[in-house]
Amino acid sequence: MCRTQIGFVHDWVNAITFVGSNFQKGKMIKSRIQELKSEAQAFAITDPDSLEQFRLRFLAKKGELNELFKLFKEVPNEEKREVGQLINDLKGDLQTIFEEKQAQMESSEDGQSDVADPSLPGPNIPLGSRHPLSLVLNRMTEIFEKMGFSISEGPEIEDDWHNFSALNFPPNHPARDMQDTFFIEDEISLRTHTSSVQVRVMEREKVPIRTISPGRVYRNEAISARSNSFFHQIEGLYIDEGVSFADLKQTLFLFVQELFGPDTKVRFRPSYFPFTEPSAEMDIYLGTETEGDRRLTKGSGWLEILGCGMVDVNVLENCGIDSKKYSGFAFGMGIERIAMFRFGVKDLRTFFDNDKRFLEQFSGVNL
């Protein structure tokens, strides 16, 4: 409030004080209320500075409204109700003017107008993108579905039978150790592979069976650029009469050609898994022309992408399938490893950081 305004307020207060009649005091306050209402309505508020001047003049602690409340105690009792209502009405009018002007200015600062223009284009809404792991998983699933495989899912918390025993893991196998598996309680753990889903499928469905089981799995491993305590797998199972290792090789060969290209070279190496016999690992050839390929393949040019083999007869019998009549093959691969290769990602942890800058790179990507 400026010095002139302050002086005016005090002069007016003094004038009322010296009026001898209570009636004249009430009359002067009512007259002053009408004057302030007119002044507030005519007050020019065009910017934040003038809005602040309005607040200081009328609504601040030393403003006009507060002075009226101080003088209210001198109003005759028979007029207090009327004068009090007038002061409250004035307070409401002043607050309404202030809040409406404040809202208009905030709206203008946001580039918005009071009236919407339907002819204007709407705001640009940024489109999201699929996670790179989802892109790879969807493509892999699509390939196997074309081969006649169905999709099966199961629980992530498993019992010992479906996670280990039915799959021919011996009692002293390292996978049953707490250092390798997240146990919740005795014989209950987070699944270490989606092979547990295959056991459930073999138990409840009739042969022939041709299914894939994608999902998240958990292992008690140190977190690093190449490993994590949880990751994603996709495992496949085919059981019927006369299924051979040649069928397994041809299925995986077609899968690799579809995912990596028709000229991709593959090789099978003997391996061991408790639930398959014979077992193998399949590699694809990247070459050693670039430093990245040499580092990824440890100088050999070959990158392992999956494990596979013929379903062990003990596994078939454990699930109630006649091993003398039926045979089958199974395979499994990590989705993160495939995604790292396809997108040139060097650190597996990047997939789980939820970094928007990383994820935006895959907008519009279609495998």
| 155 Cβ neighbours under 8 A, 6+ residues apart | 191
Q: What is the mean pLDDT of the chain?
A: 85
What span, in angstroms and rounded, lies between the C-alpha atoms of 204 and 367? 34
pLDDT per residue as tens digits for the range 42-72: 888 888 888 888 888 888 888 888 888 777 7
Domain 132-362 class?
Answer: alpha beta
pLDDT at 249: 96
Distances (CA, A) of 264 to 260, 275, 284: 6, 28, 7
Beta bridge partners of 227: none
Please say if the pLDDT value at position 10 is more than 60. no
b/e burial code for range 64-81 (CB count within 10 A of at least 16 → b): bbebbeebeeebeeebee
Question: Could you read off the pLDDT of 338-356 as tens digits, one per residue?
Answer: 998 888 888 889 999 988 8
- Six token digits for residue 90: 């004035």
Taking the C-alpha atoms of residue 296 and residue 338, their distance in angstroms, rounded to an integer, is 12
* Residue 182, token pair as written in the block: 């997240």
pLDDT at 35 over 50: yes
DSSP 217: E
The pLDDT value recorded for residue 109 is 60
What is the arithmetic mean of pLDDT over 31-42?
85
Q: Is the pLDDT of residue 13 over 60?
A: no
Tell me what the mean pLDDT of segment 276-280 comes to. Answer: 95
Q: Token digits for 341? A: 């290769």
> Global pTM?
0.64
Q: Which of 8-17, 230-239, 293-302 has the lowest mean pLDDT?
A: 8-17
β-pair type (276-285, 266-273):
antiparallel
Residue 125: what pLDDT?
78
Let me know how many helices (H) and strands (E) the chain has, helices first: 13, 10
Q: Which amino acid is at 276?
A: T
- Report the SS3 class of residue 268: strand
Indicate the residue type of 137. L
Q: What is the pLDDT of residues 79-112, one digit of tens each?
A: 878 878 888 888 888 888 888 888 888 876 655 5
Type of residue at 301:
G
Taking a C-beta distance cutoff of 8 angstroms, is the pair 193, 294 a contact? Answer: no
**What's the pLDDT band for 328 if we cut at 50, 70, 90?**
very high
Closest CA to 308 of 245, 359, 255, 365: 245
Residue range 158-182, pLDDT digits in tens: 999 999 999 999 888 887 776 788 9
